[in-house]
A and B are shown apart, each in its own frame.
Chain A
Amino acid sequence: MHNAELFETRSKSSSSRIRCQGISKTYPGVVANNAVDLDIQPGEIHALLGENGAGKSTLMKILYGVTLPDAGQIWWNGQPVSIPSPAKARELGIGMVFQHFSLFETLTVTENIALALPPGEARNRKHLAGRIQDISIHYGIPVDPDRHIHSLSTGERQRVEIIRCLLQNINLLILDEPTSVLTPLEVEKLFESLRKLAAEGCSILFISHKLNEVQALCHSATVLRNGTVTGACDPRMSSAQEMASLMVGSHTELGVPYPKVSGGESVLEISSLNAEREDPFGTTLKNLSFCVGQGEILGIAGVAGNGQKELLKLLSGERLTHQQDTIRFSGKSIGRFNPAARRKAGMAVVPEERLGRGAVPEMGLHDNGLLTGFLGGLIRRGFLRHKKINRFAEQVIQQFSVKAHGVAAEARSLSGGNLQKFIIGREILQDPKLLVCASPTWGVDVGAANTIHQALIALRDQGAAIVVISEDLDELFQISDRIGALCHGQLSPVRPVPGTTVEQVGSWMTGAFDATSVPQPEEQIEEHPQEPQEATH
C-alpha cells in the first residue's frame, strides 16, 4: 500500500517541471514556510504572490538551494530531488535572477558570465562572447559583452543576469521582483523576452507583488500569506482585488484615493540647480527648478540612477550647492547649510536606505530616535535625557503601530516595514515644515504602506510641504498632488496629478519631455485642504 501511494504521487508529478509538497521552514520565532505546495508545468509562467514577509523569499531560496527546508519534498521532472546548494540547482537546470544583482562591477559582462559557467565552457572568452551575442539577439535582450558592469544601467545589468542564466541551459528561471528596477517600457520588453522563453518550454517563476504585471504576464499564480498558501488562481481570469485579498487576508482597499489639493505659499524653491556628479557611477544634475508649496505633496518619479540620490543629498545637506540661493527654504537661502542647520530650520529627511542611513542597525530604537530628534529637548546642556528619549521612541512606536520589542530593540531586528514606519514617524512627530522622503514604501507590505501613506497625507493636511522621490508610479499617483520625473539628471515638467496620465509620466521617465506637452488643466483641481482622512480597513 505504501508503494501504491508512492507510485501515485510520482505519476501525478511526472508531467510537472517542478513540484513541491509540504515545504516547511522555521526560523527561530518565525514560521517562514508552512506546508507549502507548488506545481509548475513546462513552459508555464507561474507567479508567486505575497507581501513582504509572506515567505516568498524563503521558498525561492529553498528552490535555488540556498536554504534547506525542514520538511517537504521536491520533485524535478518527476524525480524526487534535494537541492543542497545553488551549484546543484544550476546542475538540475534552475537559474535565478536576484533582486540585488550578483554581478561584479569591475569585471566585464563576459567575465561575469564566465564565472558562473562550468570551467570547461568558459575557457574561450571570444567564443563565449559570441554565444552571449547569439542569445541576446535571439531573445531580444541587447547587451554588449565587452562592457564593464559599472558602466551599465540597472536595466542592462538585469539583462546580463538573465543571459547568464540562459547560457546555463536552464529549464526553470526564477525572477525575484524583476520589474522593480525597470521603466514601463523596459518592463514590456522584458515580458516579451520572457514570453518567448516560455514558448520554447522554459518554466518561469515570477515573484512579485505587482498585481497588474502578474495579470499581464502569468499563466497561473500561487499566493502566500504568513508562510501558508492561501490560494492558487489564474491571474488572467481573477481580478486584482481577488488576488489582493488572498495576499493580505482581508478586503484591503488597493490604492485608496486620497483627495488632491493644490499647495499654498511656496516653502521650498529650487532654482537652476546644477551639480556635477561626484563619481562616474553617479548622475550629473542639470538645471533643476521646482517648488513645493505648503500643504502639498510633490512626487518625483524616475528609474533609480537618474539623479534621485544626488537630488536627495543636495536637499538634505549631505552635499552643499555652489550657491547659497539655489535652494530656498521658507524664504531663506540654505544651499550651503549643513544637515543639522537645515533640520533646525524645520526640514526633515527620510533617506532611501533604512539601515545605515535612516537608522543605525546596531542601535536601539530610542537612540535612533535621538539621532534626528535631538532638537526636541532630548538633550540638556550636552547631557542626554534618557526619560524623554525613551518617551519619544515610545510615542513613535505607539502612534505608528511599529511592531518591536520595546524601545531598546535594535533597529536591525525590525522588519523593513516596521522600521520604515518608525523612521517616518520619528520625522513626522517633529512637526517638520518640509519633509523629503525617498521611496517611503519600498519593500514594505501593503498594511504598513497604507499607514505610511495616511501619515504623509495627514502631515500634508497640517500644512507641511512634502517631497516624495519614488520609483513606484502607483504610489506617486496615489498620494502626490503634483508630479514630475527625473531622467538623466533632468527634471520633466511638473504637473498636477489630476489630468496627468501614467503613460505621460512613463514617457518623461525615458526622457521624452517635449512630446507630452499638453495644456495644464489647472482649474480642474479640486480643493480639499482640510478634508478628513478617508478611513481604510
Chain B
Amino acid sequence: MDIDLITNVLFAMIRSGTPLLLVALGEVVCEKSGVLNLGQEGMMLMGAVTGFIVSVSTGNLLLGVIAGMMAGVAMSLLFGSLALGLRTNQVATGLALTIFGTGLSAFVGTDYVGKPLAGIAPLAIPLLSDIPLLGTVLFRHDPLVYTALILLTLTWAFFRFSRPGLMVKAVGENPDSATSIGLPVLTVRWLAVSFGGAMAGLGGAYLSLAYTPLWSEGMTAGRGWIALALVVFASWRIGRVLLGAWLFGLASIMHLVLQGMGASISSNLLATLPYLATIVVLVILSSNQSKIRMMAPMSLGKPFHSRM
C-alpha cells in the first residue's frame, strides 16, 4: 500500500469520525448525568436541516452552525420536558424523538433538497500542516474538526478537574444521595440533556455544512445510532470516545478503501462492524460486574422522583 493511500484513508477516517465524536460526546455527558436520550438521530437530522436552511438563506455558514446547535438544543428541551419534567420513560421518549425528528426534518427541508451550498472550507493550520504525513492527516481539516477535538479536551478536563463535573457523575450514580447533600439533580440533568442536544445538532450541522454540503432526507444514515453504540463502546470514558469515533469512522469508509484496492466485500456487511465491535465490548464489560458498576452510570435511564 502506498503512502498516499494511507494518508488519504487516515484523513477520511478523521473526517467521518467527527460527527460521531460530537454526538457521542454529548451523549456521554447526558448519560453520565443518568439520562438516556435515544433521540440522537432525530436531533442530528434537525441540526442538519436547520443548519443547511439558515446557511442557504443567509449565506453565513457560522450562523448555520449555530442554528444547527440551537435546533438540537430545542429538540433536547422537548425531550427534557417529557423525560425530566413529566418523568416519562426515557427509552420510549427518546425513540419518539428520533421518529419525530426524522419526519419533521424531511418536512421542513423539502424545498431545500438538492440546493447547492459551498460548504465549510478546510483550514490548514500554519506550520503544523507542513509536517509530513501527520500534518496532512491532522491539520488540513475544516474548523469543525478542530472544534470537535477542542470540545473533547474540554469535556475531559471538565470531568477530570472540575466540581460541576463531579456533580454530573454524582447525580448519575445516585440521584437520591445527591439530593440529600443538596445537589440540584434536575438542574444538572437539564443542563446535561441540553449539552447533548447542542452536540447532536452540531454533529448534524457538520454533515450538511462540511462533510457533504447538501440536504437530503435522512442524510445522517444511522450515525446517531452509531454514536449511541459508541458511548457504550467507550464505556463512558471521554478518551475512549475519540478512539472509538476514529475506529468507527474508519469502519464506515472501509468499503471505499477496499473497492479502491480491488477487493469486493459488501459495504452493507462492513457497515455492521461498529455494531459488532459494540457487542464485543458489551460482552467484555458485562463479564465483570465490577466493571459495569465502576463505569456505567448507575441510575441511567431511571426517572428521578424526589423523595421529598
Contacts and interface: CB of A to CB of B under 8 A. Distances in A.
A and B bind: yes
Given A102-B174, A279-B293, A116 B182 contact: yes
Given A67-B308, A102-B177, A102-B181, A279 B166 contact: no
Contacts of A101: 177
Interface in B244-270: none
Given A104-B173, A115-B166, A86 B290 contact: no
Contact of A119 (B163, B176, B179, B307): B163
A493 B88 CA distance: 53
A123 B308 CA distance: 30
Contact of B308 (A66, A103, A114): A66
A280 B308 CA distance: 33
B219 to A, nearest CB: 38
A115 B170 contact: yes
Given A123-B163, A150-B293, A281-B290, A115 B173 contact: no
B289 A115 contact: no
Given A104-B170, A106-B173, A280 B182 contact: no
Interface string A47-85: 000000000000000000011000000000000000001
B182 A104 contact: no
| Interface residue range, chain A | 20 to 34
Contact of B289 (A67, A114, A116, A278): A278
A360 to B, nearest CB: 18
A105 B182 contact: no
A52 B149 CA distance: 55
* Main DSSP-derived SS at the B contact region: helix
* Main DSSP-derived SS at the A contact region: loop
Nearest to A90: B182
B177 A104 contact: yes
Contacts of B183: 115
Interface string B24-47: 000000000000000000000000
A115 B290 contact: no
Contacts of A98: 180
Given A85-B182, A87-B182, A102-B181, A107 B170 contact: yes
A44 interface: no
B294 interface: yes
B190 to A, nearest CB: 18
A36 B178 CA distance: 29
Given A279-B289, A281-B290, A105 B173 contact: yes
Interface string A6-48: 0000000000000000000000000000000000000000000
Given A115-B163, A122-B163, A150-B294, A103 B177 contact: yes
A111 interface: yes
A5 B28 CA distance: 60
Nearest to A122: B163
Contacts of B290: 279-281
B189 interface: no
B169 A104 contact: yes
A92 B225 CA distance: 49
Contact of A86 (B166, B169, B181, B293): B181
B167 interface: yes
A278 B163 CA distance: 33
A9 to B, nearest CB: 29
B166 A107 contact: yes
Contacts of B170: 104, 107, 115
Given A115-B166, A119-B163, A105 B180 contact: no
Nearest to A279: B289
Nearest to B182: A87
Given A66-B308, A123-B163, A107 B169 contact: yes
B181 A115 contact: yes
Contacts of B169: 104, 106-107
Contacts of A105: 173-174, 293, 298
B69 to A, nearest CB: 28
A1 B159 CA distance: 60
B166 A111 contact: yes
B307 to A, nearest CB: 8
Nearest to B181: A116
Interface string A90-122: 100000001001111111000100111001001
B293 A102 contact: no
A86 B180 contact: yes
A114 B166 contact: yes
Contacts of B178: 102, 104, 115
B294 A106 contact: yes
A87 to B, nearest CB: 4
Interface string A234-276: 0000000000000000000000000000000000000000000
A21 B289 CA distance: 50
Contacts of A119: 163
Interface of B: 163, 166-167, 169-170, 173-174, 176-183, 288-290, 293-294, 298, 307-308
Q: Please name the 4 residue pairs, one residue from A and one from B, whose CB atoms are nearest each other, closest first.
A: A102-B177, A279-B289, A87-B182, A102-B180
18 contacts: A66-B180, A66-B307, A86-B182, A90-B182, A102-B177, A104-B174, A104-B177, A105-B173, A106-B169, A111-B166, A114-B166, A115-B167, A115-B178, A119-B163, A122-B163, A278-B289, A279-B288, A281-B293
Given A66-B307, A107-B170, A164-B181, 10 more contacts: A90-B182, A104-B169, A104-B170, A104-B178, A105-B293, A107-B169, A114-B163, A279-B288, A279-B293, A281-B290
